[in-house]
């Protein structure tokens, strides 16, 4: 069978392609949350939340988490009461590393919150021979570990710089196999893709100073993520950068999503050296993010002018210009709950 992108699948892939996820599908977890340490613990308005903000250095306000859904996820048997009705595909189809859907989350039959569910289903991946050497890509297990590590380490930034995570669960797919799905905050309810903002406010983005007001915060945000030992963020995909609604382009609040290829620094360095012997991974996160801005600016001359100016104005703006963090560092800790009902 040849898929829509030209990939040839084995029998397993054919079954998956013939029985895809669809709007209206209702999925239920097969068991409790797989990695509870990745689940959000925001404390909006509390003294602990203020300490959290100071520790991370994030200027972004804490977005509220849904208390009922969070408590259900955290309770021992709460998963039995959870349902997720798929409403709209965001990333889907053959040849994708993940199937990403908007969904209505329900507790005991009552819809409580719209979320995004990111399913990692390797039956729909391109054949391995099309993916390159194993050291260049991430296996199914690697991608699940990457997402779990990222949301666990980035707990202090959940609801600020990255989405809230309501946990990861096993689900039965329509083609008869289980797959892991990450239940995340629906960013489209609170933000818009940065590409949309750039197109709409093109008149405000005429020179390097205008672009720096938008791009500069993203590089500082990337440093906060890197400092919590989440590297290889692959922000070369601008679709993973969002601008919070009602924040001006001249002073934006940004959110990063998409952590399926991230890794702790030591692991990222090993994979990077397998592809680029003798090179450090430290500057790659800068490189990927800067690549997004180059494409968004649409003018290579403007891009290089901005990058040179930014490096002069803010010498510590780029990760590659700073000392590499200790790879043993971790971003996980605990705090009390605070939530939106």
Segment 222-277, tens digit of pLDDT? 999 998 999 887 766 778 899 999 999 999 999 999 898 888 888 888 877 877 78
Write phi, then psi, for 175 (nearest 5 degrees): -90, 10
Q: Is the pLDDT of residue 329 over 70?
A: no
Write phi, then psi, for 258 (nearest 5 degrees): 85, 90
Q: Are residues 139 and 260 in the same domain?
A: no
- Number of other CB atoms surrounding residue 222 within 10 Å: 25
**Paired sense of beta strands 165-172 and 110-120, if any:** unpaired
| Residues of the domain holding 225 | 192-321
**For residue range 267-301, what is the model confidence (pLDDT) as tens digits?**
888 877 877 787 777 778 888 888 899 999 999 99
Residue 40 within any structural domain of the chain: yes
Q: Are residues 199 and 218 in the same domain?
A: yes
Q: Are residues 259 and 169 in the same domain?
A: no
Residues 6+ apart with CB under 8 A from 253: 59, 60, 61, 217, 243, 244, 247
Write phi, then psi, for 313 (nearest 5 degrees): -70, -35
Q: Are residues 50 and 179 in the same domain?
A: yes
CA pair distance 120, 118, nearest whole angstrom: 7
**Paired sense of beta strands 191-193 and 178-185, if any:** unpaired
Q: Are residues 44 and 178 in the same domain?
A: yes
Q: What is the pTM of this model?
A: 0.87
Q: Are residues 184 and 256 in the same domain?
A: no
């Amino acid at each position: 069978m040849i898929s829509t992108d030209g990939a040839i699948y084995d029998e397993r892939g054919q079954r998956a392609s013939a029985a895809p996820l669809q709007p209206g599908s209702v999925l239920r977890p097969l068991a409790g949350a797989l990695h509870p340490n990745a689940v959000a613990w925001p404390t909006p308005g509390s003294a602990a939340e203020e300490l959290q903000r100071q520790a991370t250095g994030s200027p972004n306000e804490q977005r509220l988490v849904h208390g009922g859904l969070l408590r259900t996820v955290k309770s021992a048997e709460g998963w039995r009461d959870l349902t997720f009705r798929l409403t709209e595909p965001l990333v889907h189809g053959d040849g994708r590393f993940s199937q990403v859907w908007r969904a209505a989350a329900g507790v005991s039959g009552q819809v409580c919150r719209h979320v995004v569910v990111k399913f990692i289903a390797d039956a729909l991946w391109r054949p391995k021979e099309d993916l390159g050497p194993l050291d260049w890509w991430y296996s199914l297990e690697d991608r699940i570990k990457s997402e779990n590590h990222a949301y666990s380490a980035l707990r202090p930034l959940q609801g600020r710089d990255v989405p809230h995570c309501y946990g990861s669960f096993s689900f039965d797919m329509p083609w008869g196999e289980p797959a892991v799905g990450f239940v995340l905050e629906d960013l489209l309810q609170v933000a818009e893709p940065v590409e949309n903002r750039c197109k709409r406010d093109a008149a405000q983005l005429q020179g390097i100073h205008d672009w720096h007001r938008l791009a500069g915060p993203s590089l500082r945000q990337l440093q906060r993520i890197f400092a919590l030992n989440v590297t290889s963020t692959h922000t070369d995909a601008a679709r993973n950068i969002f601008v919070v609604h009602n924040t001006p382009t001249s002073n934006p609040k940004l959110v990063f999503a998409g952590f399926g290829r991230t890794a702790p620094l030591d692991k990222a360095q090993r994979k990077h050296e397998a592809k680029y012997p003798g090179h450090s991974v430290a500057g790659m996160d800068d490189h990927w993010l800067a690549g997004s801005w180059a494409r968004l600016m649409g003018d290579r001359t403007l891009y290089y002018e901005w990058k040179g100016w930014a490096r002069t104005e803010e010498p510590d703006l780029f990760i590659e210009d700073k000392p590499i963090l200790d790879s043993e560092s971790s971003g996980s800790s605990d705090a009390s709950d605070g939530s939106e009902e």
